[in-house]
Amino acid sequence: MSVCTDLCGGSGGAARRPIRLIRAIADSVTTLHAESDREQCRITMSTALVVDDDSDTRSLVRLILETEGYAVVEAAHGEEALGLIGPNPLPDVIVTDLAMPILNGVALIERLESEPRTAAIPIVVVSASDEARALQTSGRVDAVVRKPFDATALSECIRGLASTSLSQPSRPNVG
């Protein structure tokens, strides 16, 4: 008599029941692990602050960043961005335009640089302004994406910035 026959009390189809049961248990464990992994991703998800006075641009950037796995917070100008940063945990990256009312992108960058708490946050400028390249060359921002921008280019920029920030220290505080 085989071990399966002894355990199952018979032969043929009955012998397959333990195998089905083991597969069902294995599938359940795999599902639990997958759900746990998804929950862990939600807990450790990076946050991006998108600052632009154009709501359509903010929505597009939000969509791109959410596709990359970021939780996104939006602000219509620099002053609103600073208000969001103040009482809350810091974003992992800030994506900002330069030409905005109330507090423009350059002034926002200056304010972020002047505060030790925010000085090391990576900054990506998305702008048509020639001033954007000068900010990157001077080391004041981490990357520049020219408007009008390609979604793939922005996505690759953010992905590259994320992998660089894991392997290198943040840009120096330039104040």
**Domain CATH for 70:** 3.40.50.2300
Structure tokens at 33: 């692990």
Contacts of 41 (CB under 8 A, 6+ apart): 69
Is 157 a domain residue?
yes
* Ramachandran angles phi, psi of 117, nearest 5°: -65, -30
| Helix, strand, or coil (residue 45) | coil
Residue 68 covered by a domain = yes
Residues 11 and 51 in one domain: no
Q: Is residue 49 part of a domain?
A: yes
* Same domain, residue pair 69 and 140: yes
Distance CA 8, CA 129 (A): 76
Nearest 5°: CA angle at 140, between 71 and 58?
35
Q: Are 68 and 155 in contact (CB under 8 A)?
A: yes
The reply to whether 174 falls in a domain is: no
- Does residue 100 sit in the same domain as residue 22? no
Tokens 């304010």, residue? 111
CA triple 85-54-135, angle to 5 deg? 65
Q: Say whether both 36 and 53 belong to one domain.
A: no
Write down the pLDDT at residue 51: 97
Claim to verify: residue 64 and residue 32 sit in the same structural domain: no
78 in the same domain as 10: no
**Is the peptide bond prior to 87 cis by the omega test (within 30 degrees of 0)?**
no
Cα 36 from chain centroid?
A: 19
3-state DSSP assignment of residue 71: strand
Q: Is residue 175 included in any domain, yes or no?
A: no
What confidence score (pLDDT) does residue 163 get?
Answer: 63
Which residues constitute the domain of residue 15? 3-41
Looking at the structure, tell me whether residues 31 and 81 fall in a common domain.
no
Look at residue 160 in the predicted model and tell me its pLDDT: 81
Phi, then psi, of 141 in degrees rounded to 5? -130, 160
Q: Are residues 145 and 97 located together in one domain of the fold?
A: yes
In this predicted structure, what is the pLDDT of residue 85?
A: 93
- Are residues 132 and 81 part of one domain? yes
Question: How many structural domains are present in the chain?
Answer: 2
- Predicted local confidence at residue 130, as pLDDT: 85
Q: Do 122 and 69 reside in the same domain of the chain?
A: yes
104 part of a folded domain: yes
Shared-domain flag, residues 32 and 66:
no
* Residues 70, 35 share a domain: no
Which residue reads 């350059």 in tokens? 106
Extract the residue ranges of the chain whose pLDDT is less than 50: 1-11, 14-15, 21, 26, 28-44, 166-175
Decide: pTM greater than 0.85.
no
